[in-house]
Amino acid sequence: MELRIVFPTNDRLNIEEHFGHCTEFKVLNTKDGEVVSEEFLTPPPHAPGVLPKFLGEHKVTTIITGGMGAMAIKLFKAQDIDVILGAKGTILDNLKTFLEGELASNGTSCSHTHGDHQCNN
């Protein structure tokens, strides 16, 4: 099974816990549970509905993040992208746990205000 797994990051090592606040996406391409390649994508400017379309166009299958809004989750699911919430720490630790089948979504969608926007995570 081939997957394109995205992790939001600001330092290329750790997960940015709020999806919409990352400076890059680390994309890990896996096949049969092994990483076959990786790349970094710079997201377009943050605006409603832009990131789901962007990552859908990049054939992403899974997002592993700390949190994101309920509407964003709905939009990603419309692009056939699975969303796993509640992740924190290093990308590699979370990837390993995910590939072992042990990483489950344990976060809730955001519902607090971030000053410039309302978040439903």
Of 1 and 81, the structure prediction assigns the larger pLDDT to: 81
pLDDT tens sequence across 22-47: 999 999 999 999 999 999 999 998 88
- Cβ(44)–Cβ(94) below 8 Å: no
Average pLDDT score, the chain: 87
SS3 assignment, position 69: strand
pTM of structure: 0.86
pLDDT tens sequence across 82-105: 999 999 999 999 999 999 988 877
The bridge status of strand 24-31 relative to strand 34-41 is antiparallel
The second-level CATH assignment, the architecture, of 2-99 is 2-Layer Sandwich (3.30)
List the single range of 51-55, 56-60, 113-117 with lowest mean pLDDT: 113-117
Crossing angle of the two packed helices 70-78 and 50-57, in degrees rounded to 10: 30
Structural domain boundaries in the chain: 2-99
CA distance 42 to 121: 22
SS3 assignment, position 38: strand
